[in-house]
A and B are shown apart, each in its own frame.
Chain A
Amino acid sequence: MGMTITEKILAAHAGKDRVEPGELINARVDVVLGNDITAPVAIKEFEKIGVPDVFDKEKVVLIPDHFTPNKDIKSAEQAKMLREFAKKHSLTNYFEVGRMGIEHCLLPEQGIVLPGDVVIGADSHTCTYGALGAFSTGVGSTDMAAGMAAGEVWFKVPESIKFVFNGEKLPEWVGGKDLILYAIGDIGVDGALYEAMEFTGPAIRNLSMDGRFTMANMAIEAGGKNGIIAPDQTTVDYVESRAKRPYKIYNSDDDAKYERVIEYDVADIEPQVAFPHLPENTKPISEVGTVEIDQAVIGSCTNGRMEDLRLAAKVLQGHEVHPDVRLVIFPGTQTIYKQAMKEGLFEIFVDAGAAVSTPTCGPCLGGHMGILAKGERAIATTNRNFVGRMGHPESEVYLSNPAVAAASAILGRIAGPEEVE
Chain B
Amino acid sequence: MEFQGKSWKFGADVDTDAIIPARYLNTSDPAELALHCMEDADPDFPKKVSQGDVIVAEKNFGCGSSREHAPICIKAAGVSCVIAKSFARIFYRNAFNIGLPILESPDAVDGITEGDEVKVDVDNGVIYNVTTGKSFKSTAIPPFMQELIDAGGLINYVRGRMNR
Contact = CB atoms under 8 A, between A and B. Distances in A.
Contacts of A78: 26-28
A38 to B, nearest CB: 7
Nearest to A124: B66
A382 interface: no
Contacts of A74: 26-27
B142 A24 contact: yes
A259 interface: no
B158 A225 contact: no
A323 B89 CA distance: 43
Contacts of B40: 387-388, 393
Nearest to A389: B17
Contacts of A122: 66, 68
A190 interface: yes
A72 B24 CA distance: 12
A20 to B, nearest CB: 15
Interface string A376-393: 000000001011110001
A335 interface: no
B47 interface: no
Given A139-B90, A225-B89, A366-B21, A40 B13 contact: no
B25 interface: yes
A138 B159 CA distance: 22
Contacts of B67: 37-38, 140
Given A124-B64, A190-B63, A393-B40, A388 B86 contact: no
Contacts of B157: 146
Contacts of B43: 393
Contacts of A393: 21, 39-40, 43
Interface in A339-356: none
Contacts, number: 144
Interface residues of A, number: 52
B17 A384 contact: yes
Interface string B138-164: 000010100000000111011101110
- Residue of B25, B59, B69, B159 most packed against chain A (CB within 10 A): B25
B88 interface: yes
B17 A388 contact: yes
A163 interface: no
B94 A140 contact: yes
A24 B145 CA distance: 10
Contacts of B59: 190
B93 A143 contact: yes
A194 B158 CA distance: 23
Contacts of B22: 37, 365-367, 389
A93 interface: no
A41 B98 CA distance: 11
Contacts of B94: 139-143
B18 interface: yes
B97 interface: yes
A386 B62 CA distance: 12
Nearest to A365: B22
Contacts of A24: 142, 144
B7 interface: no
Nearest to B163: A50
A174 interface: no
A45 B60 contact: no
B61 to A, nearest CB: 10
A189 B59 CA distance: 10
Given A41-B28, A67-B26, A189-B60, 8 more contacts: A50-B159, A124-B64, A140-B93, A141-B68, A190-B13, A384-B17, A386-B64, A387-B18
11 contacts: A24-B142, A37-B67, A38-B66, A50-B163, A67-B25, A140-B97, A142-B98, A143-B94, A387-B18, A393-B39, A393-B43
